[in-house]
Amino acid sequence: MRFLALLLAGIALPALAQDAEIQKQLIQRRQQSDAFTLQLRQSQEALRIPQSDLKQRQDLESRQLHERQGLENVSARQLTEVKPDTPQELRPIERQRAADEGAPLTVPSRGIIQPVRNPR
């Protein structure tokens, strides 16, 4: 009887570890998407500032660096919080929580950025 219990436990543990690894990969995909969205938004913001305005450009670059570091910190923490013993039914909730944590870091605080008009 003990042998059967150990055998079943030995079979179940790799399956749980695999579920956790899949969960991490799904969260990493979302994080890559968030990083791309942030990079795109920051590029658009940089285009709105004239090259000659060095003070405003430095302030923007400093803020953008802080945003990127914040997103990286959240991303690293999320991956360490993936637990191998989380029930399968709660995995989508765990992924949604991770997406909700990253959203404020990627969405512009002042709304949608409009394209720069070329003055002629």
pLDDT at 3: 61
The predicted-structure confidence for 59-83, as pLDDT tens digits, reads as follows 999 999 999 999 999 999 999 888 8
Residue pair 75/31 in contact (Cβ under 8 Å)? The answer is yes
Report the C-alpha gap between 40 and 38 in whole angstroms: 5
Tally the C-alpha atoms within 13 A of residue 86's C-alpha that lie toward its C-beta: 19
- Put simply, whether the predicted model's pTM sits higher than 0.85 gets the answer no
pLDDT at 5: 58
Q: What's the first-to-final CA gap in the chain, in angstroms?
A: 85
pLDDT at 13: 45
pLDDT at 45: 94
Residues of the chain with pLDDT under 70: 1, 3-18, 108-120
